């Protein structure tokens, strides 16, 4: 399992053994590409946990969901659409009621209907959900997602704990939620605590301590505790992974103390999203213009923030590599700003949080060369949009020596589907 930092290259000619030129020849640019072997490797990393539950919001293509299902992974869904995606990928909640868990801070009407239709277990993030579920499905069992009063994240926008976060049930409201559950014939069988991405072990020990304290308040009805998600992956040179042996040991020790208190076994879940898919993903784009603006040199791509929104949303850093169209290796480098084609000043891939433009030292390239935005498998395509009338790009799965198109590039018909011009009277 990974502990050391990942090494990134600024030039590459292949992804998972496939020549980038061949991928582009088949699917064009921009295009998302996923290395299935990397996903399989990350699933194996977490085999010590009783249940690996994939937070599919990270990358929800049904082909990815299907492959994870075949690896024994179950899923988390945050909307009715994600529930139906999982079912389309082969998950069967009628046969295994816990293969899909619905996690949210609110029920919209369709979500509550889908939960009822398929008998899904719910991870409640708000007290009102307990009452709504009890009225709709008396006798339900639920998990409570607890906000422990503190959070963690690489950006304030990804911090999912503490008083500034909308997520979870406030830790001081647990007793009232238990009373509400009793009143509405709902049984609390699980606890979940996810406070954001970028977990470090010192911080994790505080999370474990907080969950254990709340678990003792809930009592012997508990059968499952969840470590949540947030396992980091390296995006920058020098960043490291969490020591997963120590990570698991902290949670397992918490689980064992609770088992001793309750007198029965507890299942230990983990709910990764980013960790399973981020490193598998690459966004391949073509450099379509190179120009100098004052002291700044720009590489302008045919991909924009409509394809990968993380930099404009969070100032997120993605490693970048260049693949020369003719296969050459460039010995010269330049400090460049990498941007896209959209009519927005914020359409910059090399920016810091707050929108400050940054430069990156990259190989000297030419128009027609390819630029690859790496570690792009999580929160990439799923956040894509049709802004500026852009078509969403294809997704390609690289698996066992084969390339599979798992989503076709959109067309103009896709772009205007559902739109109508009303008659003029």
Torsion, Cα of 282, 285, 291, 293 (10° steps): -50
Domains annotated on the chain, with CATH = 47-271 (3.20.20.10), 278-416 (2.40.37.10)
Where does the pLDDT of residue 163 fall: very low under 50, low under 70, confident under 90, or very high at 90 and above? low
Q: Terminus-to-terminus CA distance in the chain, angstroms?
A: 67
Mean pLDDT taken over the chain:
93
Task: Check whether 245 has a pLDDT greater than 70.
Answer: yes
Which band of pLDDT confidence, cut at 50, 70 and 90, is reported for residue 197?
low
Percentage of residues of the chain with pLDDT beyond 90? 85
Higher pLDDT, 166 or 136: 136
**What DSSP state is assigned to residue 293?**
E
- Which carries the bigger pLDDT value, residue 404 or residue 160? 404
Per-residue confidence band for 159, with pLDDT thresholds at 50, 70 and 90:
very low
pLDDT at 165: 72
- Write the pLDDT tens digit of every residue in 405-422: 999 999 999 999 999 999
Cβ neighbors of 41 (< 8 A, separation 6 or more) are none
Q: In this structure, are strands 51-55 and 74-77 parallel, antiparallel, or unpaired?
A: parallel
Longest dimension (CA), the chain: 75
Q: How far is CA 19 from CA 22, 23, 287, 322, 403, in A?
A: 5, 6, 18, 13, 11
Is there a cis peptide before residue 307, judged by omega within 30 degrees of 0? no
Q: Which of residues 339 and 9 earns the better pLDDT score?
A: 339
Residue/partner pairs of 386-391 with CB below 8 Å, 24 or more apart: 386/306, 386/410, 386/415, 387/304, 387/305, 387/306, 387/342, 388/304, 388/306, 388/341, 388/342, 388/343, 389/415, 390/304, 390/306, 390/307, 390/342, 391/415
Q: How confident is the model at residue 160 (pLDDT cuts 50, 70, 90)?
A: very low
Mean pLDDT of 361-366: 97
> Which position has the higher pLDDT, 239 or 223?
223
Nearest to 300 by CA among 235, 350, 363: 350
pLDDT at residue 151 in the model? 56
- Taking only the tens place, the pLDDT of each residue in 18-47 is 999 999 999 999 999 999 999 999 999 999
pLDDT at position 390 over 90: yes
- Torsion sign, CA atoms 251, 242, 158, 67: negative
> Hey, how many other C-beta atoms are within 10 angstroms of the C-beta on 95?
7
Q: Classify strands 351-352 and 187-192 as parallel, antiparallel or unpaired.
A: unpaired
**Are 38 and 275 contacting, i.e. CB atoms less than 8 angstroms apart?**
no
Q: Which residues of 30-62 are buried (b: 16+ CB within 10 A; e: fewer)?
A: bbbbbbbebbbebbebbebbebbbbbbbbbbbb
Q: How high is the pLDDT of residue 201?
A: 79
Angle formed at CA 282 by CA 305 and CA 91, multiple of 5 degrees? 100
Q: Nearest Cα to 257, choosing from 246, 247, 268? A: 268
Residue 157 has pLDDT above 50, yes or no: no
- How many Å apart are CA 288 and CA 302, to the nearest integer? 6
User: What number is the average pLDDT over the span 113-134?
Assistant: 96
371 neighbors 336 (Cβ within 8 angstroms): no
- Confidence grade of residue 164 (pLDDT, cut at 50, 70, 90): low
257-299 pLDDT, tens per residue? 999 999 999 999 999 999 999 999 999 999 999 999 999 999 9
pTM of the model: 0.94
The residues that are catalytic are 343
pLDDT for the residue numbered 132? 96
pLDDT band at 199 (very low <50, low <70, confident <90, very high): low
Check whether 52 has a pLDDT greater than 70. Answer: yes
pLDDT, position 162: 57
Of residues 368 and 159, the one with the higher pLDDT is 368
What pLDDT does 148 receive?
Answer: 86
Each residue of 333-342: pLDDT tens digit?
Answer: 999 999 999 9
Q: How far is CA 207 from the centre of its chain?
A: 21
Share of the chain above pLDDT 70, in %: 95
Signed CA dihedral, 198, 200, 203, 209: sign only: positive
Instruction: Choose among 265, 272, 341: nearest CA to 307.
Output: 341
Q: Any residues with CB less than 8 A from the CB of 213 and at least 6 apart, and which?
A: none
Residue with tokens 């956040």: 383
- Token pair listed for 224: 């499952």
Q: Which residue has the higher pLDDT, 6 or 211?
A: 211
């Amino acid at each position: 399992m990974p502990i050391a930092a990942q090494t990134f290259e600024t030039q590459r000619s292949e992804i998972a053994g496939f020549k980038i030129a061949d991928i582009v020849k088949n699917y064009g640019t921009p295009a998302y590409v996923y290395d299935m072997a990397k996903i399989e490797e990350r699933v194996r990393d977490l085999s010590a946990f009783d249940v690996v539950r994939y937070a599919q919001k990270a990358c929800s293509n049904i082909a990815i969901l299907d492959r994870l299902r075949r690896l024994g992974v179950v899923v988390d869904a945050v909307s009715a659409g994600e529930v139906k995606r999982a079912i389309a990928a082969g998950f069967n909640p009628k046969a295994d009621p816990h293969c899909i868990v619905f996690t949210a801070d609110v029920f919209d009407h369709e979500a509550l209907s889908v939960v009822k239709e398929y008998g899904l277990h719910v991870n409640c993030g708000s007290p009102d959900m307990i009452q709504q579920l009890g009225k709709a499905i008396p006798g339900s069992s639920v998990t409570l997602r607890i906000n422990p009063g503190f959070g963690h994240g690489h950006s304030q926008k990804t911090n999912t704990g503490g008083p500034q976060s909308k997520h979870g049930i406030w830790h001081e409201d647990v007793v009232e939620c238990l009373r509400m559950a009793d009143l509405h014939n709902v049984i609390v069988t699980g606890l979940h605590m996810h406070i954001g991405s970028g977990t470090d072990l010192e911080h994790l020990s505080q999370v474990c301590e907080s969950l254990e304290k709340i678990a003792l308040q809930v009592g012997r009805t508990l059968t499952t505790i969840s470590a949540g998600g947030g396992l980091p992956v390296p995006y920058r040179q020098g960043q490291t992974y969490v020591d997963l042996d120590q990570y698991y040991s902290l949670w397992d020790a918490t689980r064992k103390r609770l088992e001793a208190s309750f007198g029965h076994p507890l299942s230990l879940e983990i709910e990764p999203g980013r960790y399973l898919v981020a490193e598998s993903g690459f966004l391949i784009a073509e450099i379509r213009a190179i120009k100098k603006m004052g002291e700044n040199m720009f590489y302008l791509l045919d991909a924009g923030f409509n394809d990968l929104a993380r930099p404009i949303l969070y100032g997120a850093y993605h490693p970048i590599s260049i693949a020369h169209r003719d296969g050459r290796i460039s010995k010269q480098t330049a400090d460049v700003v990498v941007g896209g084609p959209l009519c927005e000043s914020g359409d910059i891939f090399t920016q810091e949080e707050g929108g400050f433009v940054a430069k990156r030292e990259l190989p000297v390239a030419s128009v027609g060369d390819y630029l690859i935005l790496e570690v792009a498998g999580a929160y990439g395509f799923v956040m894509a949009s049709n802004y500026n009338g852009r078509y969403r790009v294809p997704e390609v799965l690289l698996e066992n020596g084969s390339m599979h198109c798992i989503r076709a590039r959109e067309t103009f018909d896709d772009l205007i589907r559902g739109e109508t011009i009303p008659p003029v009277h």
